[in-house]
Structure 1
């Protein structure tokens, strides 16, 4: 088959197949896929993504079938009904979400918050919301696409994607993928409606590919924001422990290497030392933390924990401008605050605007004082809301974390002993270091099996994850350790006192603190940081009272949580756990042996970018004719396999192509002998072999070998000479 014959057949195939329609439908699917990928990630974090598959499949089937049955207005009404029913189910899943007014207010509040940048992950029942939001746009967009209303279909899918873009849950690549899908839908849908061939849209593909690639590469320009492709949180510049924890806001990403800052933040006067808590986080994403629930204006006392407590009175004075309001667990009352105060669902305090240097506020906290005997006897009758909210783990969490925890806590028969075993295991088996490489994937899994050291965020995140595999309600808390004691009831708190720890819920007792981070190396690092800052004459690292005071331990005296009894904890001997012991393995990374390092696979974003680039190159090649020239170059040098007759015929077609490239056109019906009469002797010989094959006794192996050698000789000779293309053959 000649190159011209092949091109003609491909053109006929293209005309028979509605290729433009397929690409337009693919564009709708791409935009919907970008939207659904965000919902899928939400469900992976907070629940099971499997129901989403059935919801989407049902919506696509319904859209396909009903496109032949109902009118667009009826379909639009069904879409509105579906989204209304979904949001009704979501709101009724919220605590107290019954009655019209009770339904309307949270629905409007959530809608306004989402459109102003509230992540879907911050919604309390995010899994219900995701499942409720999926079917209507999928059904309506696909229905319109099947009916060839491509612009409307792209608009519906684009609006759905726009919602998760506004919430901040869609990455740059996801957003660009959706935009690419909308443009493909409009461009190729127009081709389909006009009945034009696919090649007429090549220019659109080239422009779109260039747009996507150039947009992504903006991040490489000095001073430009963003990154080329999302890298799962790895890399980036060095931050401080304080900025990564207490100033994280509603979401906390586990960072890589961090530094300490010795600047003074607060002076605290208190009736007892404590960890000064800033925030708590309940939803673990695998790579960080999110705080769910709404904030309300503080307008009166907050509820105290159940059980026995001790009152801790505190007065905080800001030594610099600060945007946080620490308080000992659990704050019940705040007084004399110069700015409005908001309280989170977990009881954390937040100033509406930063406190300025010299401004102060007072807090009363009620700390649980139950001893270990009471905590062991607390049982597991957790409130439903606490159990659901504080035992959540991403569905993608590796099983080996639970398996390791099962082995470690095999002898613990209550949540308190389970927590103590995990706490002491992490404290005794991992080193403290600020210089770490942020792992890809699930942070707790990587720290537990593939890392030897980390800082407080890693220790606390891993402990929370391990306890949640045992169905123990646990949360991450961040704030400050007590700081430098400068008087009987006064402490100076610096930036390097920022810390992350664990709080475990016990029925009838409340939240109790556990701290798996090794305290001695952490305090040693802090002392050295302060000594270096003082010797360098650093500003703001001391107050008048702290200069001459001894730098003591910033951690309260160890106690069995809030008690005085000290029974032995089964399985927690305080020593390093051997590899063959409970929870041990053959090695830290759990690989069980050596072997060559795994070849890193590209991320989905990188793979998607590669597809876009390849599509752009292919379209550009088609537009310029480069694809045909490349094909012909390969075709010329590769004779067909098979019997001698096929080889000789293939050699003749290549001779014809070479002659046509030289400017000689073969007329319809012209014989091989006539066409090649004035050609090179080698070309005429191939023509003779061809005529003998077609009209004579056929060809043998010798004829095939001779024809192949003659063509190869001509190709080698003519490739060194300029080739004159026929007018118009270079592009179509």
Structure 2
């Protein structure tokens, strides 16, 4: 019971009225707008650099905006903001390897600015951390200085509540704004703002529900690879390859690790007739690819130096990968000449660590959020390795010998490499390769993820049939004076068995496009034996050169760090439904608020409330039950078109109604003015009301009386 006196209540009411609620909500809108913008920049810096630098830049911009807002005009503030953008972009451009030559790519730069809306696309640009720091201060300064001056800025929320504040409108009339905000969220979920960006608020650390193929998750991934959960194998034939020797047919490489996947940085450039080969000792390999189906990739053995007879325009990425401008049609062919590294293992051991600055910076990057235990375990595993080559071989063999191969895995939340290393027992190539690259980078060994196809089924002395299930991910490690060398930590034997089993299933089911004329009854093995690079001693994992037995994980980890350990945010057992992310929960609340506002504006909420009210009599004495039934009968009569006049008696109002309504009225008068009612009278009133509802209501008529509740 409140003890506030009337005078105190009046003072509290005046104080509440003096609080500028609309203005506060407008400022909240500004904070949300800046928060959304800065959260993207923060995620970029978590992946690419040290996010604390962003805190300093933003804090300085807020202080400058707050202080200068008192002494400068808005037009001057706008000019300072533009100058800040120019200075920031100047610093960014001068940080690039090509300096101002990068201005030739002005349109791609504008694309990157627009791609800020999706975040992930921005990770493709070179020196994304510098870009993020350059982009941060000007918008913060402008928004905060203007906010200090007028108190009403920011996108929809800020403008709308600023208008409410200006016109003095009551906040209870803001349901239209809530509907608008809810519609914006729903449209964002359905339509991507940036071309190529997914219109979804599912976190990149979340778990997808659709099962894809290894091929679609890797070689068709485009600029980014998101590590998936369970995947399937496609037995359909993609290419026939003619070459003097088998090789891994590479499609692309990825350098920037996000913790949940991979991004390929840099821009594509047109192929102009010749490409630079790798340094050191190489051997030439010519390959001719014939598409057996319409396909939008251009595989090539590492490293392509010449492409001939391609039916579509070709673009080249920074790593020398070939990207078609359009799909190849079935039957179309092209030829690639590659220079393959031929360094022997002894030469690689002596290569040293004198890495070029750009290679070391780009290919040793890890998110600042990476757990320390990955580096700690790698330190222990490689303690006896004397050079980067031996470090890579130890990590390769450790993963191959200690983790099983499986396509049926649940994607963990959090950092993929960390969760695979400590909390999973099995995975497929993407997990193995991602983990190996991450482990090597903790040792400052430049490494990257490569995707493409394994050699496929040999059907002739110099011919291979490549199927969808040959899609694969592996690791490339950089060695000074030799370039990029392939390592493959995925266990090859179980993968080959899985591929053969999938092919036999497809053949038994008479599935189309799983064979060519040469692949049926071929005298060669239908499997995918791994190619051995005898010169550098790096066979596919599990191949003839993979020495060393199974490593006892328990001997190299601390107690409690076993691979089958589960944590609350690790792999979910038993098919549990993952909890929503904070973003999902926030968007869900906005959508629910919008639905409630729509209901309020259309009257649906009142109608639903009345329908529920009709069916639920109040608890209490028989008098209270009968009185509740009477009020509901009156509501039914008024809804039918009769309006009760002030002072009109129950008997008069219900005189022209049916017998059930009149009887409830009589019981009401008996309870109100007569000798009272008992339990039997209350039950009769409830039954009469139920009969009325059965005849008149649009919804099921069961009445919840105090006696029937809880049954």
- Smaller-chain TM-score bracket: 0.7 to 0.9
Q: Call closer, same or farther: CA 1:228–1:614 in 2, change over 3 Å.
A: same
The separation in 2 between residues aligned to 1:81 and 1:594, in whole angstroms, is 48
Within 5 Å, give how 1:189-338 maps onto structure 2.
Answer: 189-194=162-167, 196=168, 199=171, 202-204=174-176, 206-208=178-180, 210-211=182-183, 229-230=202-203, 232-338=205-311
Aligned match of 2:109: 110
Aligned match of 2:42: 40
Aligned counterpart in structure 2 of residue 604 of structure 1, from 573, 582, 597: 582
* In the alignment, structure 1 residue 186 sits paired with structure 2 residue 159: yes
Would the aligned equivalents of 2:279 and 2:481 in 1 still touch at CA under 8 Å?
yes
The separation in 2 between residues aligned to 1:617 and 1:261, in whole angstroms, is 43
* In the alignment, structure 1 residue 555 sits paired with structure 2 residue 523: no
Would the aligned equivalents of 1:202 and 1:620 in 2 still touch at CA under 8 Å?
no
Cα shift readout 1:427-458 (whole Å, capped 9, x = no counterpart): 00000011111111111111111111111010
Cα shift readout 1:621-663 (whole Å, capped 9, x = no counterpart): 999999xxxxxxxxxxxxxxxxxxxxxxxxxxxxxxxxxxxxx
Q: Call closer, same or farther: CA 1:382–1:231 in 2, change over 3 Å.
A: closer
The separation in 1 between residues aligned to 2:125 and 2:480, in whole angstroms, is 25
Cα shift readout 1:352-377 (whole Å, capped 9, x = no counterpart): 11111111111111111111110000
Aligned match of 1:651: none
**Bigger mean CA offset, 464-473 vs 207-216:** 207-216
1:423 Cα deviation from its structure 2 partner: 0.3
1:239 Cα deviation from its structure 2 partner: 0.7
The separation in 2 between residues aligned to 1:63 and 1:124, in whole angstroms, is 30
1:612 Cα deviation from its structure 2 partner: 4.0
Within 5 Å, give how 1:111-130 maps onto structure 2.
Answer: 111-112=110-111, 114-115=113-114, 119-130=121-132
Gaps of 5+ in 2: 192-197, 541-545, 607-681, 683-711
Within 5 Å, give how 1:26-175 maps onto structure 2.
Answer: 26-98=28-100, 102=101, 104-112=103-111, 114-115=113-114, 119-148=121-150, 150=152, 153-154=153-154
Aligned counterpart in structure 1 of residue 26 of structure 2, from 24, 38, 52: 24
The separation in 2 between residues aligned to 1:291 and 1:260, in whole angstroms, is 24
Moved beyond 6 Å, runs of 4+: 216-219, 592-601, 613-626
Would the aligned equivalents of 1:406 and 1:583 in 2 still touch at CA under 8 Å?
no
Aligned match of 1:375: 348
Q: Call closer, same or farther: CA 1:103–1:320 in 2, change over 3 Å.
A: closer
Cα shift readout 1:182-213 (whole Å, capped 9, x = no counterpart): 2221122123334x276355435643565467
Within 5 Å, give how 1:209-608 maps onto structure 2.
Answer: 210-211=182-183, 229-230=202-203, 232-549=205-522, 550-559=524-533, 562-563=536-537, 574-583=548-557, 585-589=559-563, 602-608=580-586
Would the aligned equivalents of 1:478 and 1:498 in 2 still touch at CA under 8 Å?
yes
Would the aligned equivalents of 1:478 and 1:499 in 2 still touch at CA under 8 Å?
yes
Would the aligned equivalents of 2:554 and 2:562 in 1 still touch at CA under 8 Å?
no
The separation in 2 between residues aligned to 1:10 and 1:293, in whole angstroms, is 61
Q: Call closer, same or farther: CA 1:7–1:347 in 2, change over 3 Å.
A: farther
The separation in 1 between residues aligned to 2:68 and 2:112, in whole angstroms, is 34
Would the aligned equivalents of 2:423 and 2:565 in 1 still touch at CA under 8 Å?
no
Cα shift readout 1:129-187 (whole Å, capped 9, x = no counterpart): 0110011111111111211173xx42xxxxxxxxxxxxxxxxxxxxxxxxxxx222112
The separation in 1 between residues aligned to 2:233 and 2:410, in whole angstroms, is 17
1:555 Cα deviation from its structure 2 partner: 3.2
Taking structure 1 as the reference length, the TM-score comes to 0.74
Q: Call closer, same or farther: CA 1:594–1:40 in 2, change over 3 Å.
A: closer
Taking structure 2 as the reference length, the TM-score comes to 0.76
1:603 Cα deviation from its structure 2 partner: 2.0
Would the aligned equivalents of 1:148 and 1:189 in 2 still touch at CA under 8 Å?
no
Instruction: Report the number of matched residues.
Output: 587
Q: Call closer, same or farther: CA 1:4–1:288 in 2, change over 3 Å.
A: farther
CA RMSD of aligned residues (A): 3.4
Q: Call closer, same or farther: CA 1:228–1:120 in 2, change over 3 Å.
A: closer
Q: Call closer, same or farther: CA 1:27–1:266 in 2, change over 3 Å.
A: same
The separation in 2 between residues aligned to 1:561 and 1:502, in whole angstroms, is 18
The separation in 1 between residues aligned to 2:539 and 2:312, in whole angstroms, is 42
1:551 Cα deviation from its structure 2 partner: 3.0
Cα shift readout 1:495-551 (whole Å, capped 9, x = no counterpart): 111110000000000100000000000000111111111111111111111101143
1:559 Cα deviation from its structure 2 partner: 4.4
The separation in 2 between residues aligned to 1:527 and 1:338, in whole angstroms, is 33
Would the aligned equivalents of 1:91 and 1:107 in 2 still touch at CA under 8 Å?
no
Q: Call closer, same or farther: CA 1:75–1:544 in 2, change over 3 Å.
A: same
1:338 Cα deviation from its structure 2 partner: 1.6
Q: Residue 327 of structure 1 aligns to a residue in which SS? A: coil
Would the aligned equivalents of 2:424 and 2:564 in 1 still touch at CA under 8 Å?
no
